[in-house]
Amino acid sequence: MQLKTGDNVIINSGRDRGKKGKILQVFPAKKLVVIDGANERTRHIRSRRSNDKGQKISFFAPLHASNVMLFCEKCGKGRRLKMHVAADGKKQRICAKCQTPFNV
């Protein structure tokens, strides 16, 4: 998985298709990403005691990494990425179309 925390991505499927957001958290082992503002879910919590109130807690559920694409500012679209290996062996993620390096 080549996505990192802080990357700007666009969502390709599901309820939030077409939405852009920043990655808040990554789970590389499960290939899941949490994106700010996407895939919002509500968790309902029952009251435990009679004078307590139940609660609704909203949170952003993780999405599979295959459903998001890195957003290229220059192309203005979600793009696949390539690894660019410099002469000194340093690797950089670049846009597969316009070769612009992705920051972070």
Please identify, using beta-carbon distances, which residue of 38 and 95 lies nearer to Zn ion: 95
Q: Output Rg (C-alpha) for the chain, integer angstroms.
A: 18
String of contacts with Zn ion for each residue 48-77, x by CB under 5 A: ------------------------x-xx--
Q: Among 33, 34, 95, 102, indicate the residue that binds Zn ion (CB under 5 A).
A: 95
Residue 79: CB minimum distance to Zn ion, A: 5
Classify burial at 24, counting beta carbons within 10 Å of its beta carbon; exposed 0-12, middle 13-18, buried 19 or more.
middle
Q: Where are the alpha helices (DSSP H) in 11-103?
A: none
Tokens representing 70 are: 């890195």
Residue 14: count of CB within 10 angstroms of its CB: 13
Does residue 97 bind Zn ion (CB under 5 A)?
Answer: yes
CB of 72 to Zn ion, least distance (A): 3
Q: Which of 1, 98, 101, 103 binds Zn ion (CB under 5 A)?
A: 98
Alpha carbons 3 and 30: distance in angstroms, whole number: 13
Q: Give me the residues that bind Zn ion (CB under 5 A), please.
A: 72, 74-75, 79, 95, 97-98, 100
